[in-house]
């Protein structure tokens, strides 16, 4: 299947959307039409190629991002063979890390939206993630065949919530209220699919008379957008009064790649309508690796360019680690510059060691094709990397570079895990270690008091999947504790405090003495300021002071939860020529910091979730009343076709078991999505009832 392809014919794309928008179904159709698979897999019956994990097939959701490669030369075979590397990402917010790290390495993305549901909460989240990495996008309004589908309403919804730079290049076509095809605005042709033969057979006809006026109007708008892309096209437009279709595509492509506009298509993946046109749009409008700026890294504080050229030095980013039962650990990498071959040694700059590219695999979900060489633009899996994990840079031995790392969200929920037997104890540590390597948003810790193993993740579903994988893949039976919320502590006022650690017990003593100023950090995070002047504390002890503060922050002061959003300044102190040491200053800093926090009006923070509920109007009163009981705040309500949408803010601690409660309240006729929004102070009456951890 592997073919040598020119770099300008590469497309590295991701399929992104909210849950149930049809990402995996769309990808399955792409694999069918490009000849990768000869049978259409379906999410609802567990046969989707890209949802290959047992948990994915059972639950009908995507849990882990899956990569595949296919080739496409156009709906009319008019293009050269393009190589499309596709990553199908999860839609559930608990697995947002999969979206984050996929977008980090992609050149373009296809956003999928439901023609009924429109822009949902998770849609906005993935859109913000794409904005963060400046990923060019096109969008596809899916499920146009569904009752209540409304192309124009969803387009307006997208412009309001995602930006007003979204322009259609397709229009839906209906016959007797049935969705039958699409109108291509640029070519001014309509595509009508036949219900037989899986969408392979279609007719191309002229635009129906009822749509001619709208098509002309929207094409003129696209023409103007294209003309504004360059002086040459603008001059041609003014001179001739029009642009041909080739120039329109050229101009629109330039503006898509520069994130100035987003082009909109439509169809029904499940009914096999519009997917081939979407593939054509990927070729025409999304960038190749040579269309995007060079990636820059650094080494020893020197900026290093990684140009998209096979003649440049080798540089690649590891963005995912997976455990395969047949070949062992797979490390997924995106090559940004240069080339490499199997058996070659490369350098892991983050770990400062050499790694051997033992085997290189081109992935098709969980199927593999071994290849010998890789080059810039490739997304592949490497077998045999011993110390390379997510976010690490691999580069040439003679040209070191560190690429920007991937940021991971902090966990918001924890559960206690206890093995049932001694044998389970041995297996559990191996399993957890492997799962942590795969998923950096999943953290394992040991409670210092109870000695329990604590699993922390992004939500109930995320942790349930982890526990299920431990049982299936590592044969671990365990007892699960009640979910715990990841609270945080912070302060509300500025305080200065002295910290002393002095011990004398024969021989050499210990002497550490610091003055700290702690204050709230409105921008968030942690900041340490060395404000020592005149050498009252030697430089070699400053890092020990910072370390002592950080360790106490992690332990917390009031309830034992980590302290956040704080600035600490070291401004004075003293030392002893003989008795002072790093450990003494570390302990002095810890004591001083703890005392300062106690005086700085400490408060407890809790994670607040953005909750979006879709339901019929008859259950509106019950659901709103229930949200109020959960300390929820209704932000807004609006209508979509055949449903009401409630957007609210609710503390995470009040949302355990909500899926079951909502099902009971609405007789199973409502759905919801939830994502982390922010941390907010816990009301005093509730904070008092929370038991201390320390």
Alpha helices in 600-643 (DSSP H): 620-629
For residue 645, what pLDDT is reported?
86
* Residue whose structure tokens are 């200065």: 496
Phi and psi torsions of 523, nearest 5°: -75, -10
What single-letter DSSP state applies at residue 211? H
Average pLDDT over residues 323-328: 72
pLDDT in tens, 172-189: 999 888 999 999 999 999
* Residue whose structure tokens are 């020893």: 300
Cα separation, 304 vs 294, whole angstroms = 10
Contacts with 249 (C-beta within 8 Å, 6 or more apart), sequence order: 186, 226, 284, 285
For residue 90, what pLDDT is reported?
64
pLDDT in tens, 439-470: 777 888 776 655 678 888 877 777 878 888 88
Bigger pLDDT: 689 vs 357: 357
Check residue 176 and give left, alpha or beta (phi > 0: left; psi -120 to 50: alpha). left
For residue 52, what pLDDT is reported?
38
Q: Residue 425 — pLDDT band, cuts 50, 70, 90?
A: confident
Contacts with 448 (C-beta within 8 Å, 6 or more apart), sequence order: none
Closest CA relative to residue 23, chosen from 324, 275, 384, 204: 275
- Residue 643 has which token pair? 């449903």
* Residue whose structure tokens are 């957890």: 432
In this predicted structure, the answer to whether residue 623 has a pLDDT above a threshold of 70 is yes
Cα–Cα separations (whole angstroms), residue 586 to 135, 543, 548, 581, 597: 44, 8, 4, 9, 17
Cα–Cα separations (whole angstroms), residue 579 to 266, 506, 515: 74, 12, 18
Which stretch of 138-142, 280-284, 444-448 has the lowest confidence by average pLDDT?
Answer: 444-448
Average pLDDT, the chain: 85
> DSSP strand E in 90-213: where?
108-114, 137-142, 166-168, 170-175, 178-184, 189-193, 202-206
Cα–Cα separations (whole angstroms), residue 582 to 354, 527, 540, 571: 33, 21, 8, 17
In this predicted structure, the answer to whether residue 53 has a pLDDT above a threshold of 50 is no
For residue 14, what pLDDT is reported?
87
CB 112 within 8 A of CB 15: yes
Bigger pLDDT: 473 vs 599: 599
Q: Residue 37 — pLDDT band, cuts 50, 70, 90?
A: low
Q: Residue 68 — pLDDT band, cuts 50, 70, 90?
A: confident
Check residue 469 and give left, alpha or beta (phi > 0: left; psi -120 to 50: alpha). alpha
In this predicted structure, the answer to whether residue 602 has a pLDDT above a threshold of 80 is yes
Contacts with 296 (C-beta within 8 Å, 6 or more apart), sequence order: 303, 304, 305, 306
Cα separation, 627 vs 633, whole angstroms = 8
Alpha helices in 241-364 (DSSP H): 245-257, 275-285
Cα separation, 514 vs 688, whole angstroms = 32
For residue 55, what pLDDT is reported?
45
For residue 69, what pLDDT is reported?
85
For the chain, the first-to-last Cα distance in angstroms comes to: 59
- Residue 332 has which token pair? 């997924």
In this predicted structure, the answer to whether residue 130 has a pLDDT above a threshold of 50 is yes
What percentage of the chain exceeds 90 in pLDDT?
48
Angle, to 10 degrees, between the axis of helix 582-599 and the axis of helix 542-555? 50
In this predicted structure, the answer to whether residue 89 has a pLDDT above a threshold of 80 is no
Cα separation, 406 vs 507, whole angstroms = 49
Cα separation, 253 vs 244, whole angstroms = 14
CA dihedral (12, 18, 19, 23) positive or negative: negative
For residue 50, what pLDDT is reported?
40
pLDDT in tens, 376-396: 999 888 988 888 888 889 999
Bigger pLDDT: 450 vs 242: 242
β-pairing, 353-356 vs 10-17, is unpaired
Bigger pLDDT: 122 vs 71: 71
In this predicted structure, the answer to whether residue 65 has a pLDDT above a threshold of 60 is no
């Amino acid at each position: 299947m592997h073919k040598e392809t020119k770099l300008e014919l590469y497309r590295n794309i991701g399929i992104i959307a909210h849950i149930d928008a049809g990402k995996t179904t769309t990808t399955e159709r792409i694999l069918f039409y490009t000849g990768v698979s000869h049978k259409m897999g379906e999410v609802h019956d567990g046969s989707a190629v890209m949802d290959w994990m047992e948990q994915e097939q059972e639950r009908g959701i995507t849990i882990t991002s899956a990569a595949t490669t296919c080739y496409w030369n156009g709906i009319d075979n008019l293009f050269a063979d393009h190589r499309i590397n596709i990553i199908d990402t999860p839609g559930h917010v608990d697995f947002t890390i999969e979206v984050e790290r996929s977008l980090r390495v992609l050149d373009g993305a296809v956003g999928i939206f439901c023609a009924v549901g429109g822009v949902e909460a998770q849609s906005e989240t993935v859109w913000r993630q794409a904005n963060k990495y400046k990923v060019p996008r096109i969008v596809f309004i899916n499920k146009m065949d569904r009752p209540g589908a409304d192309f124009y309403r969803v387009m307006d919804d997208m412009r309001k919530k995602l930006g007003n730079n979204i322009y259609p290049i397709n229009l839906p076509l209906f016959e007797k209220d049935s969705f039958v095809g699409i109108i291509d605005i640029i070519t001014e042709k309509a595509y009508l699919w036949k219900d037989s033969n899986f969408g392979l057979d279609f007719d191309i006809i002229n635009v129906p008379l009822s749509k001619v006026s709208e098509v002309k109007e929207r094409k003129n708008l696209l023409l103007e957008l294209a003309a504004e892309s360059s002086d040459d096209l603008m001059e041609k437009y003014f001179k001739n009064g029009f642009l041909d279709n080739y120039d329109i595509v050229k101009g629109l492509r330039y503006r898509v790649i520069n994130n100035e506009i987003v082009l909109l298509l439509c169809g029904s993946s499940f009914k096999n309508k519009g997917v081939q046109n979407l593939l054509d749009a990927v070729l025409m409008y999304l960038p190749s690796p040579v269309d995007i700026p060079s990636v820059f890294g650094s080494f020893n504080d020197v900026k290093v360019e990684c140009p998209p050229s096979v003649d440049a030095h080798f540089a690649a980013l590891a963005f995912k680690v997976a455990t395969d039962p047949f070949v062992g650990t797979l490390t997924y990498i995106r090559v940004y510059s240069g080339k490499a071959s199997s058996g070659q040694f490369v350098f892991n700059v983050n770990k400062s060691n050499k790694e051997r590219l033992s085997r290189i695999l081109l992935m098709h979900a969980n199927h593999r094709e071994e290849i010998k060489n890789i080059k810039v633009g490739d997304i592949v899996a490497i077998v045999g990397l011993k110390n390379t994990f997510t976010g690490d840079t691999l580069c040439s031995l003679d040209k070191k570079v560190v690429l920007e790392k991937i940021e991971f969200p902090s966990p918001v929920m924890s559960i206690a895990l206890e093995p049932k037997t001694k044998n389970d104890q041995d297996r559990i540590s191996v399993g957890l270690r492997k799962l942590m390597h795969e998923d950096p948003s999943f953290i394992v810790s040991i409670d210092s008091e109870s000695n329990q193993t604590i699993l922390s993740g992004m939500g109930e579903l995320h942790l349930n999947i982890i526990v299920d994988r431990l049982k299936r893949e590592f044969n671990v039976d365990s007892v699960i504790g009640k979910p715990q919320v990841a609270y945080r502590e912070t302060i509300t006022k500025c305080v200065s405090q002295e910290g002393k650690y002095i011990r004398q017990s024969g021989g050499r003593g210990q002497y550490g003495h610091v003055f700290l100023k702690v204050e709230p950090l409105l921008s968030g995070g942690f900041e340490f300021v060395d404000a020592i002047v005149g050498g009252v504390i030697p430089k070699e002890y400053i890092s020990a002071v910072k370390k002592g503060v950080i360790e106490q922050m992690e332990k917390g002061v009031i309830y034992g939860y980590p302290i956040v959003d704080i600035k600490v300044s070291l401004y004075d102190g003293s030392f002893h020529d003989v008795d002072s040491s790093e450990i003494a200053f570390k302990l002095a800093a810890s004591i001083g910091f703890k005392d300062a926090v106690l005086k700085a009006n400490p408060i407890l923070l809790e994670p607040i979730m953005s909750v979006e509920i879709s339901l019929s109007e008859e259950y509106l009163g019950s659901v709103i009343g229930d949200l109020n009981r959960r300390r929820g705040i209704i932000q807004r309500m609006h209508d979509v076709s055949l449903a009401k949408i409630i957007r609210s803010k609710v503390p995470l601690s009040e949302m355990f078991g909500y899926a079951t409660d909502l099902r009971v309240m609405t007789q199973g006729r409502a759905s919801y999505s939830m994502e982390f929004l922010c941390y907010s102070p816990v009301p005093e009456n509730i904070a008092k009832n929370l038991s201390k951890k320390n």
